[in-house]
Structure 1
Amino acid sequence: MLVLFLSSSSRQYRVLLGKYNLAAEEEGSVAASPEKIIVHEKWNPYSVASGYDIALIKLTEHVALSDKIKLACLPAAQSILSSNTACYWEMANGALPDDLQQGLLLVVDYATCSRPSWWGSTVKTNMVCAGGDGITSSCNGDSGGPLNCQNADGSWEVHGIVSFGSSLGCNYYRKPSVFTRVSAFDSWIKEVKL
């Protein structure tokens, strides 16, 4: 799923599903409008590192699943990914390219990510870190993208949502991409009335 921000004056968004190239007409892709966007009540846009960087979108219409539009599952409540779990995220690398991008990141455990030489106390337990190798990371424009991990049975789970990265630049060594840990918000997701 790709969410496009269309206009800052009217706060218009479009949700694109089954879409991989913004410049091309693609059979089976669907554009939908949000009916409602619910942002976590503790979210503070002036302090991203305080956490709660999560929102849910209700679409104005039902979207049928197809070979191009599939579901990704939610992970079990409070589940924590093991260190070095390989996951993918969709990225834009600053400027929005026409083709949807993705990158492979290895999960960094909380004990490592919260070391002073890494993120220190900036990273919280309701976050997950991935990358930090100085080669691959999320970057400007990637916020809100998913950290998807594939299970042994081939199904996918959305374990994270791109939240922030280093102000020193993208792909910075020992500054992994930081994601909102979806499993930490299982109760909130179930309580939200869409």
Structure 2
Amino acid sequence: MSLLLPTCIIVCFSKGLICCNEPFNYRVNNGRVIGGSDAKPNTWKWQVSLQLDSYNEGSFGHICGGSIVDSFYILTAAHCIISSDVSQYRVAVGEYSLFEFDGSEQFTSVETIIVHPDWNGDLAKGNDIALLKLANPIYDNGYVEIANLPYADQMLPHGFTCYITGWGLMDYNGSVPDKLQEAPLDVVEHAVCSQPEWWGSIALKTMLCAGGDGVISGCQGDSGGPLNCLTDGVWRVHGVVSYGPAGVCNQPFKPTVFTRVSSFLHWMYSVMDQRLEIRQKSSVL
């Protein structure tokens, strides 16, 4: 089984990826997380729209999702990083309708991109995770919130219901939603997801599978976004959208695959603590 390399603008090879698509800066209707529905405004406050200015013309379009994990940091997928030029990116938080100004949005430029050191562009090897350090901090305007994270190495039981959120396509040739979408996905435990008729050996323990019923799934444009799970009475971001089947996204036995956040907490905290320390020292000088 061959997987996609993350040269993501529109390129989706066989058997592959929920990739970052052509920037969504045009108006179309009726698309959604497949099988999903409009989220209630001001619900998933940590949801991010990662946007790209492909031609440095000042016109940004949605390419991926993400999650607020600190006032200065955004969590997303490594394969969403399709340019090393930080000036081409911006982050939209407090966003709900991509094509209307809701008055709740904050738009912030990216200062630094930190991709996991073991990410090599091969989704089958995992490590599809990245942090974006923002040029300016996100402030609390009532429409944003820092995501709660799972415990280190926490794994969810088979059949546990979580929610995927994002502005992804309905299918490979589908349309783009204007409003944030949400959809329930049931966790598929590693022992099942790694079976040959499912994702087989490319489903690693550092990944989290959810869905696979042939009805509900993530799709292009959802990459990097959160899998939100209510554990211990708190909504936590347990996954980062990584890959799924090429073509029609909601295929039976091919659940959406997420980077398992609980497997990367030590790396995340080490990066954020280091950068925070550098920023604090700089402010003293």
Query: How much has 1:103 moved relative to structure 2?
Result: 1.4
SS class of match (1:7):
coil
| Cα distance in structure 2, aligned partners of 1:159 and 1:173 | 22
SS class of match (1:33):
strand
1:169 to 245, 248, 261: 248
Alpha-carbon displacement from aligned partner over 1:41-71 (angstroms, at most 9, x marks no partner)? 11122x1111000001111111112331112
| Cα distance in structure 1, aligned partners of 2:112 and 2:218 | 27
The one-letter amino acid of 2:179's match is D
Deviation beyond 4 Å, 4+ runs, structure 1: 8-11
Check if 1:20 corresponds to 2:90: no
| Cα distance in structure 2, aligned partners of 1:164 and 1:16 | 23
Alpha-carbon displacement from aligned partner over 1:63-113 (angstroms, at most 9, x marks no partner)? 112331112111100000111111111231254422121211010100000
CA 1:80–1:8: 2 relative to 1, 3 Å: farther
SS class of match (1:116):
coil
The one-letter amino acid of 1:69's match is V
What is residue 54 of structure 2 aligned with on the other side? 7
What is residue 150 of structure 1 aligned with on the other side? 230
| Cα distance in structure 1, aligned partners of 2:205 and 2:156 | 12
Q: Map of 1:1-194 to 2, 5 A cutoff?
A: 1-7=48-54, 10=85, 12-45=88-121, 47-91=122-166, 92-93=168-169, 95-153=175-233, 155-167=234-246, 169-192=248-271, 193-194=274-275
TM-score normalised to structure 1 length: 0.92
Q: Percent identity?
A: 44
Which one has the bigger strand percentage? 1
Larger mean Cα displacement after TM superposition, 161-170 or 53-62: 161-170
- State the structure with bigger RCO (CA 8 A, min sep 6), 1 or 2: 2
What is residue 23 of structure 2 aligned with on the other side? none
Number of aligned residues: 192
TM-score normalised to structure 2 length: 0.64
Larger mean Cα displacement after TM superposition, 7-16 or 19-28: 7-16
Query: How much has 1:151 moved relative to structure 2?
Result: 3.2
Q: Whose Rg is larger?
A: 2
SS class of match (2:240):
strand
| Cα distance in structure 1, aligned partners of 2:151 and 2:96 | 28
SS class of match (1:103):
strand
Query: How much has 1:152 moved relative to structure 2?
Result: 4.7
SS class of match (1:35):
strand
